[in-house]
Amino acid sequence: MINSPRDWFLVAIFYIVAANILIKAGNYNDVELTFLNYTSLDFKLAKKTMINIRQATQQDFSRVLELINELALFEKEPDAVEISIEDLIRNGTGNNPLFTCFVGEYQGNIEGMALCYPRFSTWKGVTIHLEDLIVTQKMRGVGLGKALYNEVLKHALKKGARRVEWVVLDWNTHAIDFYKNTGATVFDEWRVVQMDHGSLTAYIDKQ
């Protein structure tokens, strides 16, 4: 009996392989070709049903922090993460959270996350900043990243945002191409400017 998305996934794989064997052997008819088309569709649907996007709860933040550290490693900044689980809980829960975090589950396990928060543009008004979007390396390519990305954009529309903004490293060409293909604009002429806590303190102390 088929009781879960995983079962549908395995059934779809079986029938796709079987149908391809029939085609290669020349032993097929229109019904079998039609069935192949349907099983290919079932395969995609089964894969999609394994993905679940939801807002993070307090219990999820330990896994969220693991993903944040994985992203820092991917971005070649392995020692840059200073926040703790307590920071995430304190700032991401309660009546007035500073950010919204979505987690992406695949077969019930959290394998990705996206964190965003509101900003205000003097040109556009309310905007949403996408701070991080990460899918653990072993699960890339199953559609989790796009599902999380779409959820952030839907969230922005619900909040009345006039724009969504984020930054991307210039060497991450795969991500850049993906963003452009969705209609986003990448501004090469703008530079990201930051002042960390140490620089901030040192500067103010001199004033």
Task: Supply 22's token pair.
Answer: 């029939």
CA distance 180 to 182: 5
179 is catalytic: yes
User: What is the number of other CB atoms lying within 10 angstroms of the CB of residue 128?
Assistant: 24
Q: Which amino acid is at 148?
A: L
CA 95 to CA 201: how far, in whole Å?
Answer: 31
Nearest-angstrom CA–CA distance, 50 and 83? 31
Instruction: Work out the number of other CB atoms within 10 angstroms of the CB of residue 145.
Output: 20
Contact present, 152 and 117 (Cβ < 8 Å): no
CA distances from 22 to 25, 29, 100 (A): 5, 9, 50
Determine which one of 15, 28, 117, 179 is catalytic. Answer: 179
Distance between CA atoms of residues 178 and 108, nearest Å: 26
List, by residue number, the catalytic residues.
Answer: 179
